[in-house]
Amino acid sequence: QVQLVESGGGSVQTGGSLRLSCAASGYTVSRYCMGWFRQAPGKEREGVAAIDNDGSTSYANSVRGRFTISRDDAKNTLYLQMNNLNPEDTAMYYCAATKVDLGARMGLLWAEHFDYWGQGTQVTVSS
């Protein structure tokens, strides 16, 4: 049984930083593709970043240069380092994983491509 458990969310002021973690069980983080998504109230879920099994990464334009996705294979954990946060980053953040290789499709950051989901961790950025 696959379980993805996010942590690290919280409240910060504009310009602050947070690091989200996603601990996986029943799933090897380096096996296929993993990603971070977010959903703000009244908005659709959007892809934030993804990392493939070969270490290649993809980012949404809105976070490129500010967010960094990474994983620690020894700890079987996925991370999202978020710097220079602004109020538009306020959302519930979800960790997700696939059960197949996505290849070039990883760059689309489509939620429909991901099979396993965590419960989410809230990030709130105040001005």
Model confidence over 48-92: pLDDT tens digits? 999 999 999 999 999 999 999 999 999 999 999 999 999 999 999
φ/ψ (deg, to 5) at 118: -85, 180
Beta carbons of 57 and 79 less than 8 angstroms apart: no
Ramachandran region, residue 60 (left: φ > 0; alpha: ψ -120 to 50; beta: rest)? beta
Q: What is the arithmetic mean of pLDDT over 32-60? A: 96
Alpha-carbon dihedral sign for residues 115, 52, 22, 68: negative
- How remote is the C-alpha of 35 from its chain's centroid? 5
Average pLDDT of the chain to the nearest whole number: 96
Ramachandran region, residue 69 (left: φ > 0; alpha: ψ -120 to 50; beta: rest)? beta
Answer whether residue 17 shows pLDDT above 90: yes
Answer whether residue 107 shows pLDDT above 90: no
Confidence of residue 45 (pLDDT cuts 50, 70, 90): very high
φ/ψ (deg, to 5) at 120: 100, 155
